[in-house]
Structure 1
Amino acid sequence: MRVSDCMTRGVEIASPQETICDAARMMADCDAGALLVGENDRLVGVITDRDIAIRAVAEGKGPDAKVRDVMSTEVRYCYEDDDVEEVLRNMGELQVRRLPVLNRDKRLVGIVSLSDLAMHGASTTAGQALGYIARPGGEHSQTRH
Structure 2
Amino acid sequence: MTKNMRSRDIMSKGVQCVGEHQSLLEASRMMRDLNVGCLPICGDDQRLQGLITDRDIVVKCCAEGKDPAQMQAGELGGTLHWVDSEADAATAVDTMEMHQIKRLPVIDVKNGHRLIGLITEADLAKNLSDEQIAEFAVRVYAAN
Residues 38-92 of structure 1: CA distance to partner in whole angstroms, max 9, x if unpaired?
01121111111111011101111112121122x2232100111111122212211
SS at match of 1:130: helix
| Match status 1:61 vs 2:66 | yes
Q: TM-score, normalised by structure 2?
A: 0.86
Matching residue of 1:95: 100
Partner of 1:5: 9
Distance between the aligned counterparts of 1:121 and 1:134, measured in 2?
17
Q: CA RMSD in A?
A: 1.5
Structure 2 unaligned blocks of 5 or more: none
Q: What do residues 9-51 of structure 1 show as CA deviations (whole Å, max 9, x unaligned)?
A: 1111001111111100111111111100001121111111111
Instruction: Give the residue type in structure 2 aligned to 1:134.
Output: Y
Instruction: State TM-score, norm by structure 1.
Output: 0.86
Q: Report runs of 4+ in structure 1 exceeding 4 Å deviation.
A: none
Distance in 2, Cα, partners of 1:62 & 1:129 = 36
Aligned residues: 136
User: 49-58 vs 78-87, which deviates more?
Assistant: 78-87
1:86-115 deviation line (CA, Å, top 9, x unaligned)? 221221111111100001242111111122
